[in-house]
Structure 1
Amino acid sequence: MTVELRRYSALTAQTRQDLLDVYMDVRAPLLHLANYGVEAFLERLDRHAAEPGFGLVLGRDGELPVGYAYGNTLDAEDRYWRRLADPLPAGFTDTPVLAVKEIGVRTPWRGTGTARRIHDELLADRAEDRVVLMVNPLAGDGKVRALYGTWGYRPFNSQRATPDSPELTVMVRPR
């Protein structure tokens, strides 16, 4: 399996469809839940793609899209911060932060380092000093949160992204 990584700073119709194809495969067991449904995902994707500092990395094995990660820049006024359960430490939002909004890799490519390569490519050449992401603490029986821990993330807050979403652990690391 040779996975080529491609970077994008905007969505085209084709990259949007490729990302959706991977998302539907990765999240198939959850698509019946309102927060994970295709319509909810596409609404979030389109909103995130229009926000400042949007970046996407799409991994392909040949022409098959197999994984992705995308995110954007958060400034002090971003709604992301207002939904946190606990107040932020003084000065936390004085400089922009990269928020990784989604990471997904199809099952045959899991455990191969593909997710880490895609993640690291998303972070490469970014100006932000810190990175945040949210994870369902129960995802994969806690294995996803533990994996992010091996990538240098540490839990620092929690958030319910939408009324339909579970309580998510917010994790942070230096870029």
Structure 2
Amino acid sequence: MTERVYADVQAPLLHLPNYCVEAFTERLDRHRTEPGFELVLGYDGEVAVGYAYGNTVDRYWSRLAKPLPAGFTDTAVLAVKEIGVRTPWRGTGAARRIHDSLLATRTEDRVALMVNPLAGEGRVRRLYEAWGYRAFNTQPATADSPLLTAMNRPR
């Protein structure tokens, strides 16, 4: 089910190597084995409209561009790996409800995520800022991924 929702969410980008369904499935399978993994599917009646998943931070910090301040990694952090909502439900609050459902039973002190600062012409980053996230670092671009902005907030 998650793969079908992902394919709808990312339809315009599926031709790119990092966004194809096979790459998503590989990431999801890898993340499922990591500590604290949790996935939430959001529904409108019987229709799956979106998803979010994450896990307790592990190697996440090692990929950042700048060194972190002393003590930054001393508390538990949930890394939200992906949030996606099908087009008809965008702008309805579905993403926030799915996000909040993922966080509802977590015990970590903070939540972190990475966002392409250009996604949706910056709208995605502004949305996360409205949810209380603040930029604190970047992850350098790779062959499969653009430069990403690392953001976090208290849970």
What TM-score comes out, normalization by structure 1 length? 0.85
Share of identical aligned residues, percent? 77
State the partner residue of 2:11. Answer: 28
Q: 1:102 is matched with which residue: 79, 82, 103?
A: 82
State the partner residue of 1:5. Answer: none
Aligned-pair CA distance for 1:95: 1.8
User: Matches of 1:174 and 1:161 in 2, distance apart?
Assistant: 26
* Partner amino acid, structure 2, of 1:86: K
The structure 1 segments of at least 4 consecutive aligned residues displaced by more than 4 Å after TM superposition are: none
* Partner amino acid, structure 2, of 1:54: F
1:14-163 matches, cutoff 5 A: 18-74=1-57, 78-160=58-140, 162-163=142-143
* Cα pair distance change 1:161/1:119, threshold 3 Å: farther
* Partner amino acid, structure 1, of 2:98: I
User: Matches of 2:109 and 2:121 in 1, distance apart?
Assistant: 30
User: Matches of 1:60 and 1:126 in 2, distance apart?
Assistant: 20
**Is residue 73–residue 99 contact of structure 1 (8 Å, CA) maintained in 2?**
yes
Aligned-pair CA distance for 1:23: 0.7
* Partner amino acid, structure 1, of 2:2: L
Aligned-pair CA distance for 1:160: 3.6
Unaligned runs of 5+ in 1: 1-17
Residue-by-residue CA offset, 1:107-134 (whole Å, 9 max, x unaligned): 1111111110110111112110000001
What TM-score comes out, normalization by structure 2 length? 0.96
Aligned-pair CA distance for 1:62: 2.6
* Cα pair distance change 1:94/1:161, threshold 3 Å: farther
C-alpha RMSD of matched pairs (Å): 1.1
User: Matches of 1:39 and 1:99 in 2, distance apart?
Assistant: 22
Please give the secondary structure, in 2, of the residue aligned with 1:34. Answer: coil
User: Matches of 1:160 and 1:62 in 2, distance apart?
Assistant: 40
